[in-house]
Amino acid sequence: MSELRHPQHDLPEGMRSATASDEAIRLSADVVVVGLGAGGCMAFHDLARAGVDVIAVELGGYFPPEAMRCREELMIPQLFMEGASRATVDQAITVMQGRGVGGSTLHNTNLCKRLPDEILEIWKEQGVEDLDESLRRDFETVEELLGVHRVPADRVNANNQALLRGARALNYRHGILAHNRQGCQQSGMCELGCPNNGKQNAAKVLVPPALKAGGRALIHARVDRLLTRGSRMCGVAGHAVDPRTGTELHPFEVRAQRVVLGASATNSASLVIRSGLKDPQGLAGRRLHIHPGAFVMGVFDERVDGWKGVPQSAECTQFLQFGQGARERVWLVSGFAHPGAAAGLMPGFGASHAAMMRSYPHVAAIIAMVHDHYSGQVRPRDGERVGIHYRPDRGELEQIALGLREAARILFAAGARQVILPTSPPRVLDSPASLDELSATELGPFNPSLVAVHPMSTLWMGQDPASSVTTSHGAYHHVRGLFVADGSLFPTSIGGPPQIPIYAFGRRVARAVRESLPAR
């Protein structure tokens, strides 16, 4: 595995692997951060730079650019939770989540959006406070740190141009997205980790300054329990994990009076439940939203070569409305799949499947992602595994059907000669004539094939402890010293990419943690 070619002495100063020793590890700090995704990294960064004694603990490894091998079979097992096999308990929806220093910012495509105003208004109605000026400043700071900018028109590749061309032909609302890139070589390998250091991700932008300021990081370390003394936090405990085999090794413990959860909406909630923390209403782990998405492919006469250039730079928001009464809740965004993933989406077997794969250079794709109102639940399992209970109801299936129809319509309008829908079995269309016949009554588990990459909302904010899990600043209602700094905080689905909001709330939570510490 490429990760193992970077032994401990190649790690940055201040970072160590829990596997470097065979003996139990015992550490202490003022604050321990669990998980180094977007929110955890931001909290780690801000706390360390403020002079707080902070340790970050991460299950995954450290992946500098030279460790990114641009091969699906090498990188997917390392950069994704459960080797990208994480799914809902019925296995009907794959849930892709990152692991490693940087979390999902290692493999995401750099999409950057603030929270829609309509979502913020809903959150205010649900009791979340301080969503105006202070949040605006946090968004501005995050965007400046990450170098967020609109993708230049001359870097919109043929795959993304197909969405823009089709939406324009149909007079659908569309646009070019903002990304956080600097020095991008347009290699198209974003989902497998950037080999050129072109992503302004959490591992590049936030972790080095945190380590330089005195922060410490422990990798290959799985937190199994949150430790309490009475109604107060006193640290975390877990085990070192062999990155090659996943074998549980010796124990570790980090003593701290403040614990910040940044392990994702699935893992953070699972950890709260597994640890038996006080939760009088039984709310932790509920209200799970995931933005379920379907991958629609169009086959063109001309070559698209979708693997070349900047991925996911175009969107269509014609069918994306916010608010509880929204009739259309579908975000259409350009997509791409590397050969292994694409093979699983192509129809046919044997010779017919091989023939479809030969059309791969001619494929453009659109992901139809639902801003979900339905919510599921997370429950603990063993090790890094979590139980994700989520089966879309009829209302969500209607939105998925809408997304399939309109993604296909856009691809046909862009010039596709065939469109492949991810139904079971995959449906190959030669014209848009029959699209309106596709309805939610045909859909259900495994039909269509769905993927989710944005779990959120399982430890949601609100000022009332009877109807929320955390305060507006991420403090857990029922145990002093516990804070949450990831997408778990969102009271609802947000209908777009979550990294910028997660970074922003990471800053907010870091301030709350700092203010809660005793004066020195």
28 shares a domain with 79: yes
476 shares a domain with 339: no
The CATH number covering residue 419 comes to 3.30.410
Determine the length of the chain: 520
Reported pTM? 0.96
219 shares a domain with 326: no
Q: Report the pLDDT value the prediction gives residue 3, as an integer from 0 to 100.
A: 39
- Structural domain includes residue 378: no
Q: Which of 500, 464, 467, 507 is nearest to 483 (CA)?
A: 507
Q: Report the pLDDT value the prediction gives residue 336, as an integer from 0 to 100.
A: 92
Tokens of 177: 């997205």
Separation of alpha carbons 249 and 251, rounded Å: 7
Q: How many domains does the chain have?
A: 2
Q: How far is CA 115 from CA 288, 399, 504, in A?
A: 18, 21, 10
> 30-61: buried (b, 16+ CB within 10 Å) or exposed (e) per residue?
bbbbbbbbbbbbbbbbbbbbeebbbbbbbbbb
Q: Report the pLDDT value the prediction gives residue 346, as an integer from 0 to 100.
A: 87
Question: CB-based contacts of 218: which residues, under 8 Å, 6+ apart?
Answer: 15, 16, 17, 18, 25, 27, 55, 56, 57, 58, 252, 254
Tokens of 372: 């979900």
Q: How far is CA 42 from CA 201, 295, 371, in A?
A: 11, 31, 26
Residue 415 has pLDDT above 60, yes or no: yes
Question: CB-based contacts of 196: which residues, under 8 Å, 6+ apart?
Answer: 65, 183, 184, 185, 187
Q: Average pLDDT, stretch 408-423?
A: 98
215 shares a domain with 86: yes
- Structural domain includes residue 451: no
Question: CB-based contacts of 91: which residues, under 8 Å, 6+ apart?
Answer: none
Separation of alpha carbons 337 and 342, rounded Å: 5
Q: Look-up: residue for tokens 């002093």?
A: 480
> For the segment 111-157, what is each residue's pLDDT rounded down to a tens digit?
999 999 999 999 999 999 999 999 999 999 999 999 999 999 999 99
90 shares a domain with 55: yes
Residue 238 DSSP label: E
> For the segment 438-471, what is each residue's pLDDT rounded down to a tens digit?
999 999 999 999 999 999 999 999 999 999 999 9
Tokens of 43: 């909290």
- Relative to beta strand 25-28, strand 174-176 is unpaired
Q: How far is CA 361 from CA 108, 159, 303, 336, 358, in A?
A: 22, 10, 6, 11, 7
402 shares a domain with 334: yes
Q: How many helices (H) and strands (E) would you count in the chain? A: 12, 25
97 shares a domain with 20: yes
DSSP symbols for 60-98: S----GGG----HHHHHHHHBGGGGT-BBTTS-EEE--B
- Structural domain includes residue 489: yes
Residue 62 has pLDDT above 60, yes or no: yes
Question: For the CA atoms of the chain, what is the radius of gyration?
Answer: 22
232 shares a domain with 174: no
Residue 495 DSSP label: S
- Do 366 and 407 contact (CB within 8 A), yes or no? yes
Q: Average pLDDT, stretch 281-290?
A: 98
> For the segment 319-355, what is each residue's pLDDT rounded down to a tens digit?
999 987 899 999 999 999 999 989 988 888 999 899 8
Q: Look-up: residue for tokens 């829609």?
A: 116
- Do 99 and 246 contact (CB within 8 A), yes or no? no
Residue ending a domain, among 403, 424, 444, is 444
230 shares a domain with 90: yes
- Relative to beta strand 15-17, strand 178-180 is unpaired
Report the share of the chain in percent with pLDDT over 70.
98
Q: Report the pLDDT value the prediction gives residue 10, as an integer from 0 to 100.
A: 86
Helices (H), 323-374: 339-345, 350-357
| Bridge partners, residue 54, by sequence | 31
Q: Average pLDDT, stretch 248-262?
A: 98
- Structural domain includes residue 101: yes
The CATH number covering residue 119 comes to 3.50.50.60
- Do 400 and 448 contact (CB within 8 A), yes or no? yes
Please count the CA atoms within 13 angstroms of the CA of 352 that sit on its side-chain side. 6
> For the segment 28-53, what is each residue's pLDDT rounded down to a tens digit?
999 999 999 999 999 999 999 999 99
Q: Average pLDDT, stretch 171-190?
A: 96
Residue 5 has pLDDT above 90, yes or no: no
47 shares a domain with 131: yes
To the nearest 5 percent, what fractions of the chain are helix, strand and coil? Answer: 35, 25, 40
- Do 333 and 366 contact (CB within 8 A), yes or no? yes
299 shares a domain with 416: yes
Separation of alpha carbons 436 and 25, rounded Å: 61
Report the share of the chain in percent with pLDDT over 90.
93
Residue 446 DSSP label: T
Separation of alpha carbons 441 and 447, rounded Å: 11
- Do 294 and 403 contact (CB within 8 A), yes or no? yes
- Structural domain includes residue 185: no
Residue ending a domain, among 444, 468, 486, is 444
- Structural domain includes residue 333: yes
Q: Look-up: residue for tokens 């849930």?
A: 95
> 303-338: buried (b, 16+ CB within 10 Å) or exposed (e) per residue?
ebbbbbbbbbbbbbbbbbbbeeeeeebbbbbbbbbb
User: Taking each helix axis from N to C terminus, what angle separates 499-516 and 38-49, rounded to the nearest 10 degrees?
Assistant: 40
- Structural domain includes residue 183: no
Residue 272 has pLDDT above 90, yes or no: yes
Range of the domain at 438: 150-178+293-371+392-444
Q: Report the pLDDT value the prediction gives residue 306, as an integer from 0 to 100.
A: 96
Q: Average pLDDT, stretch 408-435?
A: 96
CB atoms within 10 A of CB 4: 12
Bigger pLDDT: 9 vs 61: 61
- Structural domain includes residue 450: no
336 shares a domain with 233: no
